[in-house]
A and B are shown apart, each in its own frame.
Chain A
């Protein structure tokens, strides 16, 4: 697999798992209602099926992340993993009907811009294709 393909699939999967975790947490707690420091509330959260979505998301992220780190430098990879912020903001607007401030929209655009810069750096330094003997 080429490095480019490895990164696109890897970061794509990471983004999906991270987003699944956040959305599942939101759905699990929405179902439980406003937080109260009672066992009933915790019970509602832990026995809500959505909490298992969050667990699957965490396990998936861990496996994907440890696979990515085999080749990816940790600094830029950690920075790029913040693409999750953009997808979670998008879902919060489209699905949960939340409103974003202009600053949040600008922030999301800057994150996307930053990831484009990181991928340009990778493209510039990509090793030349191996000659086959």
Chain B
């Protein structure tokens, strides 16, 4: 991969992780009823930060795919699963036990193989 492709790849990981963390923090907003929760959520800053991150990620993903084949993009993109899991532990103190770590790696390798080795 060229250094420009690596830059887009790292930017993709950053935006994806930031988007997911933003959505999570929007989803746990204080609420009395489910309806109230949605009202609070839809007007919360984190939700819109998340939406902007995902829109930018879409553009960055297309930019990456203009430089590398889809299979390589899928292969290197699978690492997002690991990064979001670690970020969730760091920011929200999510449990990271053996079974979750095993599941995380199986899914990461699975996505890399399923996307990276299309016939």
Is there contact, CB below 8 Å, between B114 and A108? yes
Task: Count residues of B near A (Cβ-Cβ below 8 Å).
Answer: 42
User: CA of A82 to CA of B107 in the docked complex: distance in angstroms?
Assistant: 7
Is there contact, CB below 8 Å, between A79 and B104? yes
Is there contact, CB below 8 Å, between B88 and A114? no
Name the residue of chain B whose CB is nearest to the CB of A89: B114
Q: Which residues of A contact B107 (CB under 8 A)?
A: 79-80, 82, 110-111, 114-115, 118
Closest CB of chain B to A96's CB: distance in Å? 13
Is there contact, CB below 8 Å, between A106 and B81? no
Q: What number of A-B contacts does a CB cutoff of 8 Å give?
A: 134
Closest CB of chain A to B84's CB: distance in Å? 5
A73-B95 contact in complex given A107-B110, A113-B106, C-beta closer than 8 Å: yes
A125-B104 contact in complex given A82-B110, A103-B113, A111-B114, C-beta closer than 8 Å: no
Interface residues of B, Cβ cutoff 8 Å to A: 20-21, 23-24, 26-28, 37, 41, 80-81, 84-89, 92, 94-97, 99-100, 102-119
Q: Which residues of B contact A69 (CB under 8 A)?
A: 23-24, 27-28
User: CA of A74 to CA of B26 in the docked complex: distance in angstroms?
Assistant: 12
Interface residues of A, Cβ cutoff 8 Å to B: 65-66, 69-70, 73-76, 78-80, 82, 85-86, 89, 99-101, 103-104, 106-118, 120-121, 124-125
Q: Which residues of B contact A117 (CB under 8 A)?
A: 99-100, 102-103, 106
